[in-house]
Amino acid sequence: MAISLKSQKDIQKLSAANKIVAKTLNYLEKEVHSGMSLLEINALGEDYILSQNAIPAFKGLYGFPAGVCTSVNEVIIHGIPTDYRIKEGDILGLDIGSKIDGWYGDAAITMGVGKISREDEELIACSKDALYHAISLIKAGMRFKELSYELENFILSRGFVPLRSFCGHGIGRKPHEEPEIPNYLEGHNPKQGPKIKNGMVFCLEPMICQRESEAKILGDKWSVTSSDGLRGSHYEHCVAIVNNKAEILSVE
C-alpha cells in the first residue's frame, strides 16, 4: 500500500479545495428548505462551487451525473439529484467534492429538514460525533486499523452499526487515494497494518445504519442504503496530519 506524503505546500493547496467544500456545505445548510427539489439543491451547490473558481469534482466522476450527492432518508450515500421535493421531517445527506489547481476537496453532512424526530436527531448525531471523536484520537504512529476499530466501537456504543463495503480514503491530486479507511475493523487485530504519518491527508466518513450493516445499491446504480431499509446518516471531513495530530481542512 503506497500512501503518499504531502508537503506543506501540497497541504495548503488541499486546504484551499476543502475550504470551498466547507463553504458550499454551510451555504446549502442555510439555503435548503422544505419544498426544494434535489435538482434545485444540486444546482445551488454547483453554482456556488463555480463562483469560488473551483470545479464541482463529483460531476462526471466515475460517471456520476451531478456535483452534489443528495441522499434522502434511507439513502445513506451517493444519492442522485432528482425532481423529488424534500419535505418536513426528511433527513438529507449532502456530499460535495471540489477541484482547484489540480487538488481535491471532499466533505459531507447530514441535515434535518425542518423539525425531525428525536430518533433521527440521534442518528445524525452518531455520524457527526463519531467523526469528531475519531479525529480527536488521531496521532502520528497510530495504525489505520486502530482508527477503524475506534470508529466501530463508538458507533456500536450509540446503538447503531457502520455501513459495510464503503469507507474513508486518502485524497490529493486524485479524489480517492490509498489508504481505504473502513468504519469498522477488518480482521481481528487493530495493531497491524500501515501507520499514520505526518504529511498524510485523508477523509474520514462515518456512515451509519440502524440495524443491518450490509449495503444495498438501488436500481439507479448509485444510491446506497442499508439492507434493513431504514434511515441512515453520513458525515465526512478531510484531515491532514501536521505536527503529529489531525488538522481538519474542510472547515471555513
Domain boundaries, the chain: 8-248
The pLDDT of residue 6: 98
Q: What is the dotted CATH code of the domain comprising 8-248?
A: 3.90.230.10
Calculate the dihedral angle through the C-alpha atoms of 91, 161, 165, 84, rounding to the nearest 10 degrees.
-10
Query: Per-residue pLDDT tens for 128-138?
Result: 999 999 999 99
This prediction's pTM: 0.97
Query: Per-residue pLDDT tens for 220-245?
Result: 999 999 999 999 999 999 999 999 99
- Whole-angstrom CA distances from 19 to 98, 138, 140 are 9, 21, 24
Q: What percent of the chain has pLDDT over 90?
A: 99
Cell 475519531 appears where?
134
Dist CA 74 CA 225 (whole Å): 6
Residue 194 CA to its chain's centroid (Å): 22
Which three-class secondary structure string do you get for 53-121?
CCEECCCCHHHCCCCEEEEECCCCECCCCCCCECCCCCEEEEEEEEEECCEEEEEEEEEECCCCCHHHH
At 216 the three-state DSSP class reads strand
CB atoms within 10 A of CB 12: 13
Query: Per-residue pLDDT tens for 182-210?
Result: 999 999 999 999 999 999 999 999 999 99
Q: What is the mean pLDDT of residues 157-163?
A: 98
The pLDDT of residue 1: 60
Give the chain's mean pLDDT.
98
Cell 486546504 appears where?
15
The pLDDT of residue 219: 97
| pLDDT exceeds cutoff 70 at 177 | yes
SS3 content of the chain, % helix, strand, coil (to 5): 30, 30, 40
201: enclosing H helix or E strand:
strand 201-204
Contact 224/174 with Cβ under 8 angstroms? no
Dist CA 198 CA 100 (whole Å): 23
CB atoms within 10 A of CB 198: 14
Query: Per-residue pLDDT tens for 73-103?
Result: 999 999 999 999 999 999 999 999 999 999 9
| pLDDT exceeds cutoff 90 at 120 | yes
Dist CA 50 CA 118 (whole Å): 36
Contact 182/145 with Cβ under 8 angstroms? no
| pLDDT exceeds cutoff 80 at 124 | yes
